[in-house]
Amino acid sequence: MIRKMSTAQPLKKLVSCVILDLDGTLLNTGWKESFSVIIGGDEVRLGKPSPEIFLEVAKRLNVDPSSCLVIEDSLPGVTAGRAAGMEVVAVPSIPKQPHLYTLADEVINSLLDLRPEKWGLPPFQDWIKDTLPLEPWHIGGPVVKGFGRGSKVLGIPTANLSTEGYGSLLSEHPSGVYFGWAGLSKRGVFKMVMSIGWNPYFNNTEKTIEPWLLHNFDEDFYGEELRLIIVGYIRPEANFSSLQSLIEKIHHDRKVAEEALDLPLFSKYKDDPYLKSST
């Protein structure tokens, strides 16, 4: 939970309280000093959706509940926060079910999409040219056939990767639009923008990995080994009112990725040996 303060306050004091619902493991990870108040579910009589634990937090912080912002992933937690008279941002733990969180003041896809300035808090300073730098992560495999939408419907040919063997990675990284570098074993290294998720406009039933290599190729390269280094995040996945608006947004993502990848912060990964490996 966050106590809303003046924007003159340092960002490290942004989060004032953490509520522990489970075993308190967080206390052993070096985060303890980051919070003004830490409270466990065993310190109140009633658990969520009762507002008791949030009201106890406000009491310990010596602030009015209305000056607090709750960030919750569960429906009982959202209900509890609202019942406490606090504003609530929901980060749903249930995939593709944001409509269930109607009590929240805002529903976001992941904490990557939290914008504190919307709530009178100091903005994060991490964003650079509409991108959020990430600790680089890697993924690779042979290029496979997708749904046939990229070239035929969107005019945007993607080099799809199979999700087989990447279940834990897909659950670890929120759905959204990312960017980085792509290495093809026989062709070289290219800029890349990529979606991970369900593509709401097409209502996929499975989470997919769909990189768009920002280069005009003369032929398909199905089966060729593709290596990716993902270095940044652009936006959450979203639904669109029309196919044209979707296409325009994808091309805007391309522009953002291309410009960002020219920055030294991101361009240095172009020479990563992982991209040039053929195994």
Distance of CA 214 to the CA centre of its chain: 22
Q: Regarding beta strands 68-72 and 87-90, do their DSSP bridges make them parallel or antiparallel, or are they unpaired?
A: parallel
pLDDT at 146: 63
Q: Is 87 a catalytic residue?
A: no
Count of residues for the chain?
279
Q: How far is CA 167 from the centre of its chain?
A: 16
Q: For domain 2-119, give the CATH superfamily.
A: HAD superfamily/HAD-like (3.40.50.1000)
Residue intervals of the chain classified under CATH 3.40.50.1000 are 2-119
How many whole angstroms separate alpha carbon 150 and alpha carbon 138?
23
Q: Which segments of the chain belong to CATH 2.40.30.30?
A: 132-270
What pLDDT sits at residue 208? 83
Which segments of the chain have a pLDDT < 70? 1-15, 18, 20-31, 146-154, 200-202, 204-205, 277-279
The predicted structure's pLDDT at residue 12: 37
* CATH architecture observed for domain 132-270: Beta Barrel (2.40)
Q: Given this model, what pLDDT does residue 49 score? A: 96
Which phi and psi angles does 12 have, rounded to 5°? -65, -15
pLDDT in tens, 45-80: 999 999 999 999 999 999 999 999 999 999 999 999
Q: Which residues pair with 98 in a beta bridge?
A: none
- The pLDDT of residue 2 is 62
pLDDT at 15: 55
CA distances (Å), 99 to each of 57, 104, 178, 191, 229, in order? 28, 10, 24, 35, 33
Q: Which of 164, 210, 224, 225 is the catalytic position?
A: 210
pLDDT at 42: 87
DSSP designation for 154:
I
> How high is the pLDDT of residue 11?
34
